[in-house]
Amino acid sequence: MTFTIKIKEEISKIKSTKSEVIAELSAYIRNNGHIKDNIITLSTENHFLLERIKEEVNDMYDINAQEEIIENLNFSKNILYQLTISEKVDTILKDLGIIDESGNYLDVVPKYIVGANEEIRAYIRGIFFASGSINDPKKSRYHLEILSSTPEEAVFVQKLLNIFELNAKILSREKGYMIYIKEAEKISDFIKLLGANNAVMYYEDVRIYRDQKNKTNRLNNCEQANMDKVFETAAEQLKQIEVIEKNDGIMLLDDRTKQTVEYRKKYPEASLKELAEIISLETGKKITKSGLNHRMRKIKELSTRFEKMKTTE
């Protein structure tokens, strides 16, 4: 069972008021219904969802919507659950704000259908039932999407989502429009908005684990980069010492810098900080990282002079 199906199954058990049922059905039928010859046909791969829609329609309008199982030719699954509504269709479509009193299709639902926050939540739940999906945070990138066939509906749903500051955006696709959210925190807020409390806890647990893991990886990478820099610097200093020794130039260094040469050769992989601590401990004379760096500059300057002399010969 996918993460999306788990969410849909959880929220399919939410009890709704009459106005919330109207908002949910309006979104679901608008985005999943096939309306022809005064018949509404709804189809889904999830039986629990069909049962919810069937119960809502039958109870709300005192009809007997017909359920059947049909072969699914478009997807990998073998069957689809289909609900056919052939009674009071005109009344239902007008009541749900899908057509006006003259029978004309409405591009977006009337404002009274989503007049309160709970009704907005129900409408969002309805369109999520119809065409929404959320990636499992364990398996892939953070991503939520809702598909709409019309630009008017896509913009309308985007506005509803952004009432709750979810930062939803729209992309045009070949067969419609995709409203999407990519921020992990906002997706978590969306799941909470749906009322899927168990899914929220799962999502947050995974998100915290992934964030901590990524933080650890970044720290490890940073530490490795620092180590690489230490080794690179130490290797460069050893090359400079080698140049001085080949030119019998050690005698040109003062005693403290000669001492630094000895310790660098003795501890070739130590950082400047570590080397300063070692020299301080072994000689009993305190030297800071800054002081040691000053001596290293003298070594570099003398090495550079010998290199220049070599190129002018």
Determine the pLDDT at residue 78: 64
pLDDT by 10-residue block (mean), the chain, 313 residues: 94 94 96 92 92 94 91 66 93 94 93 95 96 89 92 96 95 91 94 94 87 76 79 89 89 90 88 88 90 91 87 66
Starting at the edge strand found earlier in the chain, the sheet holding 169-173 runs 132-134, 144-148, 176-181, 169-173
In whole angstroms, give the CA distance from residue 63 to residue 210: 49
Tell the CATH topology of 3-195: Endonuclease I-creI (3.10.28)
Alpha helices (H) along the chain: 3-11, 18-32, 47-61, 89-95, 117-131, 151-163, 184-194, 197-246, 255-266, 272-283, 289-312
Determine the pLDDT at residue 75: 54
- DSSP structural state of residue 169: E
In whole angstroms, give the CA distance from residue 249 to residue 243: 9
In whole angstroms, give the CA distance from residue 201 to residue 188: 9
Task: Report helix, strand or coil for 170.
Answer: strand
Among 193, 166, 191, residue whose Cα is nearest residue 180: 166
Determine the pLDDT at residue 234: 85
Determine the pLDDT at residue 94: 95
Determine the pLDDT at residue 208: 84
Is-contact 57 92, C-beta < 8 A?
yes
Q: Structural domain boundaries of the chain?
A: 3-195, 228-312
pTM: 0.69
Helices 184-194/3-11 angle, 10° precision: 30
* Residue 181 phi, psi (nearest 5): -135, 135
